[in-house]
Amino acid sequence: MAVFSPRKFSFSIIFLGLMTVLRSQAALDVHYYDRTCPEAEKIIRYTVLNASMHDAKAPARILRMFFHDCFIRGCDASVLLDSTPQNQAEKDGPPNISLRAFYVIDDAKTKLESACPKAVSCADIVAIAARDVVAMSGGPFWNVLKGRKDGRISKASETINLPAPTFNVSTLIQSFTKRGLGVKDLVALSGGHTLGFSHCSSFQARLHNFSSVQDIDPTMNPEFAETLKKKCPKPNKNGNAGQFLDSTASTFDNNYYKQLLAGKGVFGSDQALYGDYRTKWIVESFANDQSLFFKEFATSMVKLGNVGVMENGEVRLNCRVVN
């Protein structure tokens, strides 16, 4: 009888993941703006750094913006479009109401249009900014593939397709698979929660009347659950109340995975990763080896950045409206 080896399996996943990235690079190029806007990445980096110095929530929101953009219609900056009287856009869908860092992308776009008009797409700005907030917060740096075009369609109704904090592992795997992302990508990209904050509404169902027989989700550390209950009483009259998703929420590290091992995942979807044999060993690997997590996170971010890349889109002059 064959013996299942997580170590051998992990190498297979990493190899296949890298092959997928290499195949997808045909449409994008690290050096895409070398001639048309050589200062593009520098302009974006300084814009993001300045915003982060004045707004502590900006890094987490920009990273989340990239995820939410790529998961709906691919990485086409559809999340940046404003609603119109005829259409409610993605940014006004329930999962995106708390993003609120669109001004950072607007600022970068204004500076880029001054330096090199009609050259840099809004989709590329979001991808580069997401990399920069990770690196600035102590995480890995990777070369962002560039050359995305901006889409013209954005619908709030489609945000229902974003992974929810209540998903189990099977549902999460299905969601990621639809976008060409594997189990390793799921666990690695979930590590983006090392930066971030959640309002009570996203996890309070785990704290009150969880089931007919249990008040609290049994996968949650009891002491941690009591701490969250105090922050999120029922009924909760404080709309700003919530919890950081990681005890070192301003630093990009592997503490998120260590918290899962201790039963201190804030979202049910996060804690579920440690309760399922398909993902548990990857969680443990990342909790024990931060450099491995950084490597796999960077690889998965490149793969995510290749989801639904448009070849026939436009380069918006204003990220909030189509040309």
Give catalytic residues, as residue numbers: 68
Hey, is 177 helix, strand or coil?
helix
The CA angle 29-33-36, to the nearest 5 degrees, is 140
> Which one-letter DSSP state was computed for residue 84?
B
Per the structure block, which two tokens stand in for 142? Answer: 């990777």
* CA gap 65, 77 in Å, rounded: 9
Structure tokens at 2: 């064959």
d(CA 137, CA 247): 14
Q: Which residues make beta-bridge pairs with 242?
A: 199
Dist. CA 318–CA 124, nearest whole Å:
14
Q: Are 161 and 257 in contact (CB under 8 A)?
A: no
